[in-house]
Structure 1
Amino acid sequence: MKWNKYTLDRFEGDSAVFLKYPNETENLLIHCSKLTENLKEGDIVRISGWNDTYKVELLEDETMDQKDKVRRLLEQLKKD
């Protein structure tokens, strides 16, 4: 199976909306009942799938790095 990275953008009803990382122009909808990880918006994950069966793995280090990057950018914007 081929893996792709995604960012969990949001939850819509019973589905999670993932945006393909890093350009975030493609999206993937997965029913929440198929998620085994306890995910939050903004999490970066690795997803493989075949015939509507998905394996989702949280990439904790990359998620934390991205959140730190966003936090630093927001702090910089507040200073300007």
Structure 2
Amino acid sequence: MNSNKYTLDRVEGELAVFLKYPNETERLHIPISELDEEVKEGDIVLISIENDTYKVERLVADTEKQREKVRGLLEKLKNQQK
């Protein structure tokens, strides 16, 4: 079983578009029917593939850490513009 971290970038029609974390250079498309309703854009998840089935596990701590980092960067940019 192969597992990797991804960020849910967006939903396009019936597909969820994930970018491999942290470089975000590789994409993975998964039918949204295979996702838990709790997974939202911007979430970091661990995706495992077993027998052509995707297992998507939401990584709450990693997601929150990344969101805090982004908030800090946005705050820094706001302060530079003043």
User: What secondary structure does 2:22 align onto?
Assistant: coil
User: Do the aligned residues in 2 keep the contact of 1:8 with 1:45 (CA within 8 Å)?
Assistant: yes
TM-score by length of 1: 0.94
Aligned to 1:21: 21
User: What secondary structure does 1:3 align onto?
Assistant: strand
Return the index of the structure with the highest Cα Rg. Answer: 2
Which consecutive unaligned segments of at least 5 residues does structure 1 have?
none
What per-residue deviation string (whole Å, max 9, x for no partner) do you get for residues 17-53 of structure 1? 0000010000000001111352111000000113531
The number of equivalent residue pairs is 80
TM-score by length of 2: 0.92
* Pairwise CA RMSD: 1.0
User: Do the aligned residues in 2 keep the contact of 1:37 with 1:56 (CA within 8 Å)?
Assistant: no
Q: Percent identity?
A: 65
Query: Where has structure 1 moved over 3 Å in runs of 4 or more?
Result: none
